[in-house]
């Protein structure tokens, strides 16, 4: 399938474990950006994090969320054999050149983006939607926006125009501020370890 003309949000992460907060971010992107689909890309191993539980076990946590019909798990990183987001996005653009991809990420990841391999190329490969997360990261994004936001400040699309982001040539990005969902994978892992 070539997905011609479809607008697809690519939502990557370790999902260790996937939870309702992730689903909230994906739904926000789907609705605010007027996307046709969201593909959850479970990272085989995030290079910025310590060893993760098995890929299969983390995929199972996404499956347990009972994703709606317009969301699916994509195994593209396994299929492409890529480890870095920049390589995955390039490969996706090459394989499905007629799809309108938007990369979805939480504000916490956007603040860390300059640590990612070839992060400027990520910003210049597909439009990016940054979704607010609760806590200090939300206030940091709002107050100083972070390095990526400063460098690409002239390419920011207002939240009220976010539904046309998918049609923009990169670099282009927006910052979405939905009602917050306070769940985090870190908090879930900590509560499990106390049992």
- Select from 54, 127, 116, 132 the least CA-distant residue to 83: 116
Give pLDDT, residue 188.
44
* Cα–Cα distance measured from residue 97 to residue 191, given in angstroms and rounded to the nearest whole number: 43
Read off the pLDDT of residues 110-135 as tens digits, 9 standing for 90 and up.
999 999 999 999 999 999 999 987 65
Cα dihedral value 136, 145, 11, 66, nearest 10: 30
* Residue 187 confidence class, pLDDT cut points 50, 70, 90: low
Is the predicted pLDDT of residue 3 greater than 70, yes or no? yes
The pLDDT value recorded for residue 34 is 98
Domains of the chain: 7-193 (3.40.50.620)
pLDDT tens for 72-99 read: 999 999 999 998 999 999 999 999 999 9
List CB contacts of 57: < 8 A, sequence separation 6 or more. none
Q: What's the predicted TM-score (pTM) here?
A: 0.87
- Tell me the per-residue pLDDT of 46-66, one tens digit each, with 9 for 90 and over: 776 777 889 999 999 999 999
């Amino acid at each position: 399938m070539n997905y011609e003309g479809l607008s697809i949000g690519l939502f990557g992460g370790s999902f260790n474990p996937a939870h309702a907060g992730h689903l909230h971010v994906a739904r926000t992107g789907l609705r605010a950006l007027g996307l046709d689909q969201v593909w959850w890309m479970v990272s085989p191993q995030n290079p910025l994090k310590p060893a993760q539980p098995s890929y299969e076990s983390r995929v199972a946590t996404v499956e347990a969320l009972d994703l709606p019909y317009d969301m699916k798990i994509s195994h593209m990183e396994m299929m492409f054999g890529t480890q870095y987001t920049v390589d995955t996005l390039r490969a996706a653009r090459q394989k499905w050149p007629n799809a309108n991809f938007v990369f979805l990420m939480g504000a916490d990841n956007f603040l860390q983006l300059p640590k990612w391999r070839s992060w400027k190329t990520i910003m210049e490969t597909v439009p990016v939607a940054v979704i607010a997360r609760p806590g200090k990261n939300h206030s940091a994004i709002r107050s100083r926006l972070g390095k990526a936001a400063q460098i690409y400040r002239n390419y920011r699309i207002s939240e009220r125009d976010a539904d046309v982001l998918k049609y923009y040539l990169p670099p282009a990005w927006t910052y979405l501020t939905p009602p917050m969902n306070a769940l985090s994978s870190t908090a879930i892992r900590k509560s499990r370890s106390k049992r």
